[in-house]
């Protein structure tokens, strides 16, 4: 997302200045709150934020809003109930994560028999995109009449996913498939399955379409992933912020962005 934002700013340097800040990992909520407060102190015109937590960042963003700063929410949607409690509403620009996970889950379901045993690796508990991706996977599992034997958080992290997957296949040695809510966790799952000699027996899917997973899809080690066009996501947010600033829009609606299924076939078409 940052790379896409910087490239876009380079092409439109006369339209806006870009300050890009991030956190080292997706659990450092306190640091992200601090970054928002820094942006408020610097009196920026707009903040485009992919919140590490769907609830905890809302008070800081409300301070920005109250200071006259336009806040655009991308990637991970803010919690609607918490926004209502805080009496604030931020427009969301991003994909339908449930729909994207359902696409991946439906594709996986066609690769296994009915009643196959499936596990889910969830993202950070409470994160909106983690919740929606889990729901999308569950939608596909229910429709295909698969057997969900385990659903655990690996907190978006590769190493954690490796550990969790090792535990799942120890408890369920007859596991047939594993759905990871992001590609980093899919990589950890593949590593654990390789170590256990079970990679050919367990089909793995992810979400995000990172380059490392594209390679594993081509090699047949991962079945599919979803592309939410992360390189464009920040750009979509920036464009919406610029539009809102230009039109002085106080109440911008949400804006859904594309999410696509990525398989060996679609990657082949891209060559």
pLDDT in tens, 10-29: 999 999 999 999 888 777 89
Model confidence pLDDT, tens digit, residues 105-156: 999 999 999 999 999 999 998 888 999 999 999 999 999 999 999 999 999 9
Q: Is 84 exposed, middle or buried (CB count within 10 Å of its CB: 0-12, 13-18, 19+)? A: exposed
* pLDDT for the residue numbered 72: 97
Model confidence pLDDT, tens digit, residues 203-231: 999 999 999 999 999 999 999 999 999 88
Range of the domain at 66: 2-95+230-257
Claim to verify: residue 127 and residue 6 sit in the same structural domain: no
Dihedral angle of Cα 72, 73, 78, 84, to the nearest 10 degrees: 10
* pLDDT for the residue numbered 250: 64
From CA 101, how far away is CA 119, in angstroms rounded? Answer: 14
Q: Is residue 242 part of a domain?
A: yes
Q: Is residue 262 part of a domain?
A: no
Q: Is residue 87 part of a domain?
A: yes
Claim to verify: residue 109 and residue 214 sit in the same structural domain: yes
Model confidence pLDDT, tens digit, residues 42-100: 999 999 999 989 999 999 999 999 999 999 999 889 999 999 999 999 999 999 999 99
Q: Is 192 a residue whose pLDDT tops 90?
A: yes
Q: Is residue 267 part of a domain?
A: no
pLDDT-based confidence at residue 235 (cuts at 50, 70, 90): very high
What separation in angstroms does the CA of 163 have from each of 23, 143, 174, 193? 24, 29, 18, 11
* pLDDT for the residue numbered 126: 80
Model confidence pLDDT, tens digit, residues 27-38: 789 999 999 999
Claim to verify: residue 53 and residue 113 sit in the same structural domain: no
Model confidence pLDDT, tens digit, residues 236-259: 999 999 999 998 866 789 999 999
* pLDDT for the residue numbered 24: 81
Q: Is residue 265 part of a domain?
A: no
Claim to verify: residue 148 and residue 29 sit in the same structural domain: no
Q: Is residue 133 part of a domain?
A: yes
Claim to verify: residue 245 and residue 130 sit in the same structural domain: no
Claim to verify: residue 9 and residue 28 sit in the same structural domain: yes
Claim to verify: residue 76 and residue 107 sit in the same structural domain: no
* pLDDT for the residue numbered 271: 41
Q: Is residue 237 part of a domain?
A: yes
Claim to verify: residue 240 and residue 202 sit in the same structural domain: no
Claim to verify: residue 80 and residue 108 sit in the same structural domain: no
Could you give the 3-state DSSP secondary structure of residue 222?
Answer: coil
Buried b (16+ CB within 10 A) or exposed e, 34-45: ebbeebbeeeee
Claim to verify: residue 91 and residue 186 sit in the same structural domain: no
CATH code (residue 24): 3.40.50.2300
pTM of the model: 0.83
Q: Is residue 159 part of a domain?
A: yes
Claim to verify: residue 107 and residue 212 sit in the same structural domain: yes
Task: For residues 172-201, give the mean pLDDT.
Answer: 98
Claim to verify: residue 213 and residue 123 sit in the same structural domain: yes
Work out how many domains the chain is built from and give that number.
2
């Amino acid at each position: 997302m940052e790379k896409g934002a910087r490239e876009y700013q380079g092409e439109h340097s006369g339209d806006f200045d870009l300050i890009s800040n991030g956190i080292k990992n997706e659990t450092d909520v306190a640091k992200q709150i601090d970054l928002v407060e820094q942006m408020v102190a610097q009196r920026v015109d707009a903040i485009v934020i992919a919140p590490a937590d769907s609830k905890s960042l809302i008070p800081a963003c409300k301070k920005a809003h109250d200071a006259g700063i336009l806040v655009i929410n991308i990637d991970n949607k803010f919690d609607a109930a918490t926004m209502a409690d805080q009496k604030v509403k931020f427009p969301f620009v991003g994909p339908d994560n449930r729909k994207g996970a359902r696409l991946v889950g439906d594709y996986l379901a066609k690769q296994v028999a009915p009643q196959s045993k499936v596990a889910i690796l969830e993202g950070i508990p409470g994160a909106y995109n983690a919740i929606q991706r889990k729901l999308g996977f569950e939608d596909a599992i229910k429709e295909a009449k698969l057997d969900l034997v385990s659903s655990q958080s690996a907190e978006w992290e590769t190493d954690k996913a490796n550990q969790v997957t090792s535990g799942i296949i120890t408890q369920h040695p007859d596991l047939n498939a594993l759905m990871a809510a992001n590609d980093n966790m899919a990589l950890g799952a593949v590593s654990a399955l390789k170590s256990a000699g079970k990679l050919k027996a367990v089909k793995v899917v992810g979400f995000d379409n990172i380059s490392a997973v594209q390679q594993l899809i081509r090699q047949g080690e991962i079945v599919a992933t979803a592309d939410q066009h992360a390189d464009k996501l920040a750009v979509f947010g920036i464009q919406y912020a610029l539009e809102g600033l230009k039109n002085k829009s106080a109440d911008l609606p949400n804006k859904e962005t594309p999410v696509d299924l990525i398989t060996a076939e679609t990657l082949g078409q891209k060559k």
